Amino acid sequence: MKLLLLILLLASHSIFADDDYRRQIFKAVNELRKIEEKSSNKELDKNNALMDENWALFKKNKSDSIRILKNILDEEIKKEKPSSLVILDLSWFLVLEDKNKNEYLPQLIKYYERIDFRSKIISFSSQQFFNFSLFLSEKQQPDFLKLIDERFLRHETGTFFIPQHMTSVSNHAQRTHLYGVYGNQSIKHLLNILESEKTITNRQSILSILRRICTSDCAIPISNLLEKEKDHESFVSGTYILLDNAGPIGKELYLKLSTGALSAKTKDYFDSEKEFAKNLTYEYLMNQIEQKFGKSNNQFNDKELLSETEKMINNAGSSTTLHPSDFINSTKDKEILIGKLLEARRKSFLRVNRHGLDDIDITNMVINTLNFKP
């Protein structure tokens, strides 16, 4: 009898404790709503401190808090005017703290869709909103590219600064990482937009993004675009794509371009680049790699090279052991190597800093050289 009473007492204590923790979480979430309602810069400045306090509370018992926060979010998105800050902050907590988050990605996207990206509070929280977007884009969920279009291509987001990398991340840079980390499907998607896009700044931005992510598949559509391109900056970006990303077919199409519709300035640029294109060969590219990076001291066999490449992919496209020449010198089928390098490049877009972009440029150089390799 005494044992039964003790069990009941402990159970009731646990229930009351859980109920108290739940009330604390609801109170913390409501504090976020108050900030959004006031939306003065002074109140918005308090957001970071409040979020730190809230997250410390959520982390006390993550097995309970994650369940409670998901329930709160499920109810929040049903509202006619949900709190964007509540959705963003709680969703981002789940992304960072819930090891099972990949099991409910479609639900995370539903939360994401209900965030008012045009609101002042989200503009003020642009880095967190971008980070959430980057996480979801990397997962390559169906139709997510359309959400990027609406939030980052058709809308100017706020620039934010990353102190640890001394990097300012502009709207264009955010687009580049978001489309880049989604992968090869972004190429066709952006090329389709280019066909009807009339806004010069958007065209310039899209072509600049394609300079980072294009493959030889871009050769024909970019060549067709350059035949009628009136904007000089856009023509320059298209030139880089054909000569730096598209391999021998890019070179061939560039040299065949009709220049009758070009402005005098663009015609002069084309003539100078045409001389460079004529000399663009496998030997030239190999020499460029050796001049820039020196010779490799590695002696990887094909199996070891693929193993090291997988490590690079799993490390967001970063490697301290691989040398660009390792891929060029390999006897492995170059199409297999290019496929692995494209995945490493995709993962590199997760690193929002200069090092990540540098690695992307190096990877593109290696891929282009492999395309020229006999």
Contact 194, 207 (CB under 8 A): yes
Q: Is the dihedral of CA 69, 71, 74, 79 positive or negative?
A: negative
Question: How would residue 6 be classed by pLDDT, with cut points 50, 70 and 90?
Answer: very low
In single-letter form, the type of residue at position 310 comes to E
Return phi, psi of residue 82, to 5°.
-70, 160
The pLDDT of residue 44 is above 70? no
Domain co-membership, 320 together with 265:
no
pLDDT at 15: 44
Tell me the sheet residues that pair with 17. Answer: none
Domain co-membership, 336 together with 360:
yes
Domain co-membership, 52 together with 127:
yes
Domain co-membership, 297 together with 228:
no
Domain boundary among 280, 305, 326: 280
Q: Please indicate, yes or no, if residue 177 is contained in any of the structural domains.
A: no
Q: Which of 275, 285, 232 is nearest to 254 (CA)?
A: 275
pLDDT at 238: 97
The pLDDT of residue 39 is above 70? no
Q: Please indicate, yes or no, if residue 169 is contained in any of the structural domains.
A: no
Domain co-membership, 275 together with 331:
no
Q: Please indicate, yes or no, if residue 334 is contained in any of the structural domains.
A: yes
Distances (CA, A) of 280 to 193, 204, 242, 275: 30, 25, 11, 9
Question: How would residue 8 be classed by pLDDT, with cut points 50, 70 and 90?
Answer: very low
Residue 256 and residue 258: Cα distance in Å, rounded? 6
17 versus 309: the higher-pLDDT residue is: 309
Tell me the sheet residues that pair with 162. Answer: 167
User: pTM of the prediction?
Assistant: 0.92
Question: How would residue 160 be classed by pLDDT, with cut points 50, 70 and 90?
Answer: confident
pLDDT at 134: 99
Q: Please indicate, yes or no, if residue 191 is contained in any of the structural domains.
A: yes
pLDDT at 77: 98
Write out the residue range of the structural domain in which residue 214 sits: 185-280
Q: Which of 336, 344, 338 is nearest to 360 (CA)?
A: 344
- Average pLDDT, integer, range 136-144: 97
Q: Please indicate, yes or no, if residue 172 is contained in any of the structural domains.
A: no
Domain co-membership, 103 together with 52:
yes
The pLDDT of residue 37 is above 80? no
Tokens of 105: 């990605």
Question: How would residue 201 be classed by pLDDT, with cut points 50, 70 and 90?
Answer: very high
Residue 293 and residue 329: Cα distance in Å, rounded? 14
Domain count, the chain: 3
242-275 pLDDT, tens digit per residue, is 999 999 999 999 999 987 778 889 999 999 999 9
Secondary structure class of 160 (helix, strand, coil): strand
Query: How many CB atoms within 10 Å of residue 225?
Result: 19
Question: How would residue 371 be classed by pLDDT, with cut points 50, 70 and 90?
Answer: very high
The pLDDT of residue 149 is above 70? yes
Domain co-membership, 204 together with 271:
yes
The pLDDT of residue 228 is above 50? yes
167 versus 191: the higher-pLDDT residue is: 191
pLDDT at 10: 42
Q: Which of 195, 284, 292 is nearest to 243 (CA)?
A: 284
pLDDT at 122: 92
Q: Please indicate, yes or no, if residue 163 is contained in any of the structural domains.
A: no
* Helices and strands per DSSP (H, E), number in the chain: 21, 2
pLDDT at 5: 44
% of residues, the chain, pLDDT over 70: 93
The pLDDT of residue 16 is above 70? no
Distances (CA, A) of 352 to 109, 150, 346, 372: 22, 21, 12, 30
Q: Which of 205, 207, 219, 209 is nearest to 179 (CA)?
A: 209
285-328 pLDDT, tens digit per residue, is 999 999 999 999 999 999 999 999 999 999 999 999 999 999 99
Question: How would residue 4 be classed by pLDDT, with cut points 50, 70 and 90?
Answer: very low
Domain boundary among 251, 280, 309: 280
pLDDT at 88: 97
Contact 329, 303 (CB under 8 A): no
Question: How would residue 217 be classed by pLDDT, with cut points 50, 70 and 90?
Answer: very high
Secondary structure class of 167 (helix, strand, coil): strand
CA atoms within 13 A on the CB side of 254: 33
Instruction: Give CA angle at 199 (192, 251), nearest 5°.
Output: 55
86-129 pLDDT, tens digit per residue, is 999 999 999 999 999 999 999 999 999 999 999 988 998 999 99
Q: Please indicate, yes or no, if residue 338 is contained in any of the structural domains.
A: yes
Q: Please indicate, yes or no, if residue 146 is contained in any of the structural domains.
A: no
